[in-house]
Amino acid sequence: MTLTDALNRQVPGVQPDSRQNQELSEQLQQSVQKSIYQNSLKLNSRVLFALAGQGNQKSLILVSGGEFVPEIANSFEGETRIVEIDRQSMTIKTCPLTPLNARALRVCFPFAAPVLTGIRRSIGCGDRIGLATPGHIRAVRATGVMPILAQQSIREMTRTQRTAQQVMDDATWGVFQEGFQQGFGSDADHLKSKADIDATLEAGFTMFTIDPGDYVDDQSDFDNSHSLLNKFQALDWKALEYSADDCKRLYADKSFRISDDYQLKISKDELVKAAVKYGRAVIHTTTLFRYLQQRSGGKAFELEVSVDETATPTTPAEHFYVASELKRLGVQWISLAPRFIGEFEKGIDYKGDLKTFERAFISHVRIAQYVGPYKISLHSGSDKFSIYPIAAKHAGELIHVKTAGTSYLEALHALGKIDPDFFEEIYTYSYARFETDKASYHISTSLPQITHPSDISGKNTTDILNDIHCRQMLHVTFGSVLTEKKDDCTYRFRERLMRLLGENEEIHYELLAKHLGRHAAPFSA
C-alpha cells in the first residue's frame, strides 16, 4: 500500500494492517528522514498520523494529500511543508510533543485518553521519569489485566519536579507509540487536598486516590478504654451527619453475615476504637469526594480510598466501619487500600507470615464483596511476588496492584547495561543521600547493610539490584537523583539519564516488560 492509496481509500474506522503499516512506515521514513514507530501509524479523516524520531527527539507527523491542510490537522501546532511522494504533492506537518498536541491527539484518537477502569483486575504502572509506558504496555498487553498507565502521587510529582499534565501526556504519547487500543486508566495518587484534586482533574485524570492518612489516629491502638471513649464522644458528629448514639446502634455488638463462611461481630470496644482511629479520615474522604463531584461538572470519575499508610494494620472490623460509613455518607469508590498485616516495604518482597496474611486478606475481600463490590488495592505492591498468587486466588476481579518505584529501578537496570560508569556515579550519589532520603519511607535497610560504592565496580547491575538493601537505597533516593543540579543550575544526572534511555529505549522496554510482566502474570485472565 502506498501513502497515496492510504489517504485516498481510507474507510472510516478501518486502519491499515501490520503489513500495510510496515509499507507505509518505510515510505514515510524516506520522506521525513526520521525513524517511524510502525505501531503508531493511524488514519483519521484522510490524514495519516505517526510518531517519528527517537528518544527525546520525537515528534508527531501528520501527512495529507495535496497542498490543502485538512481541518483535523489544524487542531495541532507545528510546521507545515509540501513534499512530493509517489510523484504526488503531499502536506507534512511536524508537530512537537506539547500539551496542546497531546490534548488534540486524545480527541482524534480516544484510545490515547484514559478511561474508567471499573470493577476488573488492574495494575498501576507508575512512571517517575516519563519514558516507561511502552514497556508497561508490553508487560500487560496479553494478560487481560487493565493497566493504569498515567499514575503518580503528588508527593512523587513534587520530588521529580513533574506536573500532573506531564504525567498524563507522557502516557498518551507512549500509548500512541505502541498503538495500544485495549484501554488504560489513570490514577492521581495519594491526594490530600482540594488543590491536589484541581491540578489532576485539569490534567484529565479519571481515577483519584484519596489519602486521608493525616486524619487517622494511630495512637488509638495504644489508648486505654477511658481515653478512647472520650475521643469517640468528641468526634465531629455533625460532619458525620448523625450522633454517637446512632453510631452505636448501627454497629456496636452487632453481627453481620458477610458471606456463607464469614460472620463479623463488632463489639462496642471495637467500634469505639474503629471510629476514633478512622472517623476523621472518613470525614476528610467524604469532603474531598463531594468536592470532586462538584468540580468534575458531571464528568464520570472513579475513586480509590487509601488507608494503608498507617502505623498498625486495618482490622476487619475497622475496614467494615470505614467502608460502611463512606457508603452511608454517599461516597462511591471502586477500590480501597487497607493497611495489611505484615510489612509492605518499598521495592522488595512481602515480609511476614503468608498464612496469616492469607487469612486476613480473605476477610478484607469478603468485606469488599459485601459492602461493595469494590477492589482491594495492594499499595507498595512492587515486587511482592510471594503474595500475588494469594491475591489472585481469592480476589478474582476485585484486585488492584499499585507499583511505581520498581519501574525506576528498571531504568537504572537498563542504565547499568548501557553505561556502567554512569550507573556507578548515580549509585555513589544515592549512597550519600540515603540517610536523608529514607526518612519519609517505610523501609528497614540501614546504611551498614548496603554495599559500599567502592565495592560495586565491575559488578553486574542485575546482581546489585537483586540485593534488597541496594535496591531500597536506590528506590528511596530517586527524587534527589532526578533533581540534583550542578553549580551552573543544569541537572547533574537527569538529562543524561533521559538521553541514554531514549537512545537505547528497546533495552529499557525489554527490561520493563520482563519485570512488570512478572507482576501481572499471576493475575492473567
pLDDT score, position 87: 80
Q: Which of 189, 196, 270, 467 is catalytic?
A: 189
Q: What is the mean pLDDT of residues 434-445?
A: 93
Q: Does residue 304 carry a catalytic annotation?
A: yes
How many CB atoms neighbour CB 33 within 10 A?
7
Flag whether pLDDT at 16 surpasses 90.
Answer: no
Domain co-membership, 66 together with 188: no
Q: Which of 156, 217, 304, 308 is catalytic?
A: 304
Q: Which residues contact 237 (CB under 8 A, 6 or more apart)?
A: 243, 244, 247
At which of 405, 427, 445 does a domain end?
A: 405
Domain co-membership, 462 together with 353: no
- Residue 524 within a domain: no
Domain co-membership, 412 together with 398: no
At which of 352, 380, 405 does a domain end?
A: 405
Over residues 126-144, the pLDDT tens digits come to 999 999 999 999 999 999 9
Domain co-membership, 416 together with 429: yes
Domain co-membership, 493 together with 384: no
Over residues 177-227, the pLDDT tens digits come to 999 999 999 999 999 999 999 999 999 999 999 999 999 999 999 999 999
Domain co-membership, 342 together with 289: yes
Q: What is the mean pLDDT of residues 21-27?
A: 87
Q: Which domain holds residue 367?
A: 116-405
Burial letters 403-420, b for 16+ CB under 10 A, else e: bbbbbbbbbbbbbbbbbb
Domain co-membership, 91 together with 22: yes
Stated as kind and residue range, the H or E segment containing 60 is strand 59-65
- Residue 355 within a domain: yes
Domain co-membership, 9 together with 148: no
- Residue 411 within a domain: yes
The β-bridge partners of 59 are 52
Number of domains in the chain: 3
- Residue 523 within a domain: no
- Residue 68 within a domain: yes
The pTM (predicted TM-score) of the whole model is 0.96
Q: How far apart are the first and last CA of the chain?
A: 36
Domain co-membership, 381 together with 501: no
Domain co-membership, 333 together with 311: yes
Q: Does residue 349 carry a catalytic annotation?
A: no
How many CB atoms neighbour CB 393 within 10 A?
12
331: closest CA among 271, 377, 288, 274?
288
Over residues 146-180, the pLDDT tens digits come to 999 999 999 999 999 999 999 999 999 999 999 99
Flag whether pLDDT at 11 surpasses 70.
Answer: no
pLDDT score, position 10: 72
Domain co-membership, 387 together with 432: no
Domain co-membership, 199 together with 133: yes
